[in-house]
Structure 1
Amino acid sequence: MRATLAALVLLAAGLASATGLATPAVTAGAAPPVVAGPDLGQRVVVFDPSMSVASIRQRADQIWQQQVDAEMSSERWSLLFLPGTYGTAAEPLQIKVGYYTEVAGLGASPSDTVINGKVEVYNRCLSDGPTQPYCVALNNFWRSLSNLTIDVNGTGQDGCRASANFWATSQASSLRRVDIRGGNLSLMDYCTAGPQFASGGYLADSRAGTVINGSQQQWLTRNSEVVEWSNGVWNQVFAGTIGAPSEASFPTNPYTTLDRTPLSREKPFLHVGDDGRWQVRVPDARTESRGTSWAGGTTAGRDLPLSSFHVASPGQPAQVLRQALDRGQNLLLTPGVYDVDRSLVVRRDHTVVLGLGQATLTAVGGATPVVVRPGATDVVIAGVTVDAGTGLSQNLMHLQGQPGRSGDRRTPAAVPTTTLNDVYFRVGGPHIGKADVSLRIDADDVLIDHAWVWRADHGIEGFTAGAVGDTDRWNTNIGRVGLIVTGDRVHATGLFVEHYQQHNTIWTGEDGHVVLYQNELPYDPPSQADWTRPDGTLGWTGYKVGDDVLRHQLFGGGVYVFNRNDPSITTASGFEVPVRAGVRLHHVLTVNLDAGSIEHVVNDTGDRVDSTRSGQPSYVVDYPAP
């Protein structure tokens, strides 16, 4: 994601920890009565509707104040709301969400938890000079809002803010199972002094009235319902969304619209059952779906009692988590950072690994933190960030298999679908990181539902050589490829891969299907020589489909270039695919962000983008042309 030079480094260290902030006691609230939940640690805060608005707001504001600039910190938080109503027309509950913070309702349906007020994210001001403030959402990462209803109430706010719930974020900041009523949903913060940029968001299984896209450059809305969508920038993608705008005038109106989502599966969520007991709902996969999973009643799926989970805490050794998986337990990762020196290996069908509050697994000693063994089907990994460590890892997550040999005769509808929901990867940033490949999928029949695979373009490592330390970064934070897919029938809904040192994504499996792909090429190659392939081709691509692949589809893809370390660097093409009828790209683009150039969009098709047309995309509507 495009960064703000040295100011980011100065602000990234985070604020002091809040170990003195005690977790509020859970008191009896609305029916059903709640059986005492598990000990989820001091970084999980549970709110009850009997609590006063003032006390909830004070607690949430304490956490926000700590996290608003804590981009590279180790603090993690989960703010959970038991079923009931919070806030009133006269005294609304208005809270803000900072880094590494999850806000979620604990009902079986979004209507079970209602907030009269707002849950918001504003632009982050990285400089505040009197004539040239720099306030953007480009680095508003790592947070989430889910499973509740917001009755928008701006009482007490100024006129600009009053009409909308602001969610000004970029990557790794999902909105899921939210029902926005009585006001607009704005995906940019147009009330803060400009430039007001935002890029790379995700909305799923939700309902809203008017959505103000604003400055969001690429965005995916999946299986949702909207009344109106205000505008588009480079490409806004819709799949299975009621009320989505038409794509007929693309690219004049930059919309990509699929009437139905071929394969979807919602993220598991913690909730309180009818008997008052805490449990995890694991939604079923859906095919050719449209609209939310909850409009007609309870989301189809299975409920798992918390007794089936090992409730992990960050202080536990990785060996303890490994043993829990070996015993056949699921994993519930409470908020925090976990050091993983030996792989957490999933061997059993239907295993669930669910992270709360942006739980983070950090590789130690070159380990691969998560491995799914061949033959383990219907595995779900959700709400987890995986960080590279200082030793070189071959992979950060590896879904193992025998590509092309583990079920050629099966169809997607008949196959249990291993799913990654809100799974993020990071190489560098809070510390030096090294991983050859971040995510490797050798298994068949996998769904990636919102992933950000990021080799960091900024952080607090202390690099100095080159533009904002980029030469040091290139030689130290090693990330060759972000994603490699060799398995067949792998689907992705919302795939963001950025800044890797060779091809950012390599896809050699058959029947791949991707809905929205967003990529930035690395900012930091020191020279053209460092960004040239051994065969002399200028640069690597943002998206490479293997030469032998027969069938592949991509809907809505963008590759950006910003070679700030050497603006003269050229890349031959943003996308590289075999030319055959079964490989189809629909609505793809390249764009220059002030430095560097890309000669073509796909292979040798599409116009050059460079600094003479900064911010103006080059589009290819269909490749190959019909």
Structure 2
Amino acid sequence: MVANRAGRVGLAALAVVLIGVVMAVALVVAGRPSETPEPESSAPPDFGPNVTILDPSMDGETIRRRVDEIFAAQQTNQFGERRDAVLFAPGEYDVTVDVGFNTSVLGLGLAPDDVTINGQVRVDAEWFDGNATQNFWRSVENLAIVPADGVNRWAVAQAAPMRRVHVRGGLDLYPSGSGWASGGYIADSRIDGRVASGSQQQWFSRDSEFGSWDGSSWNMVFSGVRGAPPQTFPNPPFTVLDATPVSREKPFLYVDDDGAYRVFLPDPRWDSAGASWTGGETAGRSLSIDRFFVARPGDGAERINAALDEGKHLFLTPGVYRLDETIRVDRADTVVLGIGLPTLVPENGVDAMAVADVGGVRLAGFLIDAGTENSDVLLTIGDERSNAAHEANPTSVHDVFFRIGGAHAGRATTSLVVNSADVIVDHIWAWRADHGDGVGWQTNTADTGVVVDGANVVATGLFVEHYQKHQVVWNGENGRTVFFQNEMPYDPPDQQAWRDGDSDGYAAYKVGDDVAAHELWGAGSYCFFSANPSVRASRAFEAPDAPGVRLHGLVTVSLGGNGTIGNVVNSTGATVGPEWTGPSTVANYP
């Protein structure tokens, strides 16, 4: 009996081992990193000198002095290399936080209301004579704001998201003076009072809840927003979708009840509306920070790739990372998360990052700044042979920004290429610089901002500006874009230098000639040909005449009458130019 029992136990143990081996092999074959629990540390990781962690037990004056010091360093630091992240541990704070360039302000709670700022988390435009059109590269996420006077101000332009924020009051999206703003993006947030757009030229709001909305200029788009105004495009120019086709919120850092640092990974949502957290906990899972390689600016691509090959996720701390080889993300479900606008600079003409054709990858919260030698592509997702379906576990891109010039004379042929299917592109700004250092038609050269060849790709918040050919080329089937904002290049020297075959200029948004199904909602394209106002673009949008290709809420403007856009889409829509600056609108095409 004893021997037989021992034999049965041995066989059972062997079976368990074999099952474990089979499961491990299956995970490797699928490209998924192991989910084996690792020991967790309650001590904060070494995030480096430019991550400031504040705690409610700290003296209030110390907190105020620290956030003011950061703002003083960053208020006008548009193209400098300093980066900052300010992290608020759960609790209440009596402080107003002014947010400058290259700065992220983040709550460390699991829910936004776990961190309460009694004051403001504020962006204004005193540094630029009251004009907020250059308030780029900053963010606020995952906290609650109780503004002392009842209204928080967030006067921003591109690449300045507000995510997962609860404003217990109203929100003004324009500067305190009379200047313009050119934003912007809100997602997964709740504003109890009125949201006022004021002088904002355009704005995109997704999966949020507003007490009310007031104001319009050219292109205001709402997707899955409770409290949004009704669909009225073009007068006023509100494009409204009751639900977002597919979304997945950005990963975020938080501290659990035991004081351990973790990263929360929200689940995808289909046909979503409202903030993910107002009806209870956000659906998803979390990872210990111990499962991440916490990178510092001195870490090169070789070390980062070695960590990724070992199955680590990647956490980018604030700073500038100079890359002499491409960062390669080859495993499914890998997370690459940055705080404080960490910036990747490819050198010697390498591409900055390439993601394999795998599911579930999340890229979030970083800037890719083109190097002085031309890169073919700054970020590639999938390869030209990609054909796998990832609908149940999509790859997603959140607050990833691209810059060609401005800080230096950068060059890159294309900023983002999406070859994989089912990718979610959730708020990017791809920008060929029109000001700063290293700017000129022959200097910061860049053909195209975004090329999509994968099927079933969804973009929510696509900001693409100043590229020298098409801004966006979409060849994949069944693509959907909710909100597109564009300015054509300012600097074509003459018409001969800017022609697409027989056409004057390049359409900003081109749907491939052979595409059978594509849909676009809420899209604005503007011209300001300051180098030569006689330059003309034949059209802003170009698409095949196919039953499944549908475009909604299109607008063009000639800024100050500097240049001409002949038609809005194909041969439809009135001309804007020196005689009539617009806006010219097409509500639906065809």
TM-score by length of 2: 0.91
Offset at 1:275?
A: 2.3
Offset at 1:532?
A: 1.3
Give the counterpart of 1:496 among 426, 451, 463: 463
Offset at 1:52?
A: 2.2
2:584 is aligned to 618
- Is 1:151 equivalent to 2:130 in the alignment? no
Offset at 1:403?
A: 6.0
Offset at 1:478?
A: 1.0
Please give the alpha-carbon distance, in whole angstroms, between the structure 2 residues aligned to 1:485 and 1:223: 24
Give the counterpart of 2:371 among 389, 409, 427: 389
Offset at 1:551?
A: 0.4
Please give the alpha-carbon distance, in whole angstroms, between the structure 2 residues aligned to 1:95 and 1:447: 32
2:66 is aligned to 59
- Is 1:380 equivalent to 2:362 in the alignment? yes
Offset at 1:402?
A: 4.5
Please give the alpha-carbon distance, in whole angstroms, between the structure 1 residues aligned to 2:246 and 2:567: 31
Task: Count matched residues.
Answer: 548
State the Cα deviation string for residues 536-558 of structure 1 (Å, max 9, x = none).
21000110000000000000001
Please give the alpha-carbon distance, in whole angstroms, between the structure 1 residues aligned to 2:443 and 2:72: 33
- Is 1:141 equivalent to 2:136 in the alignment? yes
* Cα pair distance change 1:403/1:612, threshold 3 Å: farther
Give the counterpart of 2:410 among 433, 440, 458: 433
TM-score by length of 1: 0.86
Please give the alpha-carbon distance, in whole angstroms, between the structure 1 residues aligned to 2:533 and 2:384: 42
Offset at 1:94?
A: 1.2
Please give the alpha-carbon distance, in whole angstroms, between the structure 2 residues aligned to 1:384 and 1:565: 31
Offset at 1:152?
A: 1.0
2:437 is aligned to 460
Please give the alpha-carbon distance, in whole angstroms, between the structure 2 residues aligned to 1:259 and 1:403: 35
Give the counterpart of 2:422 among 445, 453, 474: 445
Q: 2:76–2:127: 8 Å Cα contact kept in structure 1? A: no
- Give runs of ≥4 in structure 1 deviating > 2 Å: 401-407, 611-614
Q: 1:403–1:488: 8 Å Cα contact kept in structure 2? A: no
State the Cα deviation string for residues 65-119 of structure 1 (Å, max 9, x = none).
11110000000000000000112xxxxx112000000001000000100111111
Give the counterpart of 1:254 among 234, 237, 240: 237
- Is 1:241 equivalent to 2:208 in the alignment? no
Offset at 1:215?
A: 1.1
SS in 2 for 1:357: coil
Offset at 1:123?
A: 1.3
SS in 1 for 2:63: helix
1:360 is aligned to 343
Please give the alpha-carbon distance, in whole angstroms, between the structure 2 residues aligned to 1:570 and 1:540: 9
Please give the alpha-carbon distance, in whole angstroms, between the structure 2 residues aligned to 1:599 and 1:72: 35
Q: 1:404–1:488: 8 Å Cα contact kept in structure 2? A: no
1:561 is aligned to 527
SS in 1 for 2:568: strand
Offset at 1:299?
A: 1.1
1:121 aligned partner, one-letter code: V
Offset at 1:297?
A: 1.7
* Cα pair distance change 1:488/1:108, threshold 3 Å: same
- Is 1:305 equivalent to 2:300 in the alignment? no
Offset at 1:443?
A: 0.8
1:36 is aligned to 43
Please give the alpha-carbon distance, in whole angstroms, between the structure 2 residues aligned to 1:532 and 1:262: 35
Q: Within 5 Å, give how 1:508-523 maps onto structure 2.
A: 508-523=475-490
1:466 is aligned to none
1:115 is aligned to 117
* Cα pair distance change 1:67/1:148, threshold 3 Å: same
Q: Within 5 Å, give how 1:572-583 maps onto structure 2.
A: 572-583=538-549
1:416 is aligned to 393
SS in 2 for 1:136: coil
Task: Please tell me whether Structure 1 or Structure 2 has the larger radius of gyration of its CA atoms.
Answer: 2
Structure 1 unpaired stretches of 5+: 1-33, 88-92, 127-133, 154-161, 464-472
State the Cα deviation string for residues 312-353 of structure 1 (Å, max 9, x = none).
000112110011111111000000000011011011010000
Same amino acid, percent of matched pairs: 46
Please give the alpha-carbon distance, in whole angstroms, between the structure 1 residues aligned to 2:466 and 2:384: 29
CA RMSD for the aligned pairs? 1.2
Give the counterpart of 1:601 among 533, 556, 568: 568
- Is 1:536 equivalent to 2:487 in the alignment? no
2:209 is aligned to 225
Please give the alpha-carbon distance, in whole angstroms, between the structure 1 residues aligned to 2:340 and 2:512: 37
Offset at 1:406?
A: 2.5
SS in 2 for 1:611: coil
Q: 2:124–2:130: 8 Å Cα contact kept in structure 1? A: no
Please give the alpha-carbon distance, in whole angstroms, between the structure 2 residues aligned to 1:57 and 1:427: 35
Give the counterpart of 2:159 among 157, 172, 177: 172
1:331 is aligned to 314
SS in 2 for 1:530: coil
Offset at 1:62?
A: 0.7
Please give the alpha-carbon distance, in whole angstroms, between the structure 2 residues aligned to 1:253 and 1:53: 45
Please give the alpha-carbon distance, in whole angstroms, between the structure 1 residues aligned to 2:399 and 2:347: 22
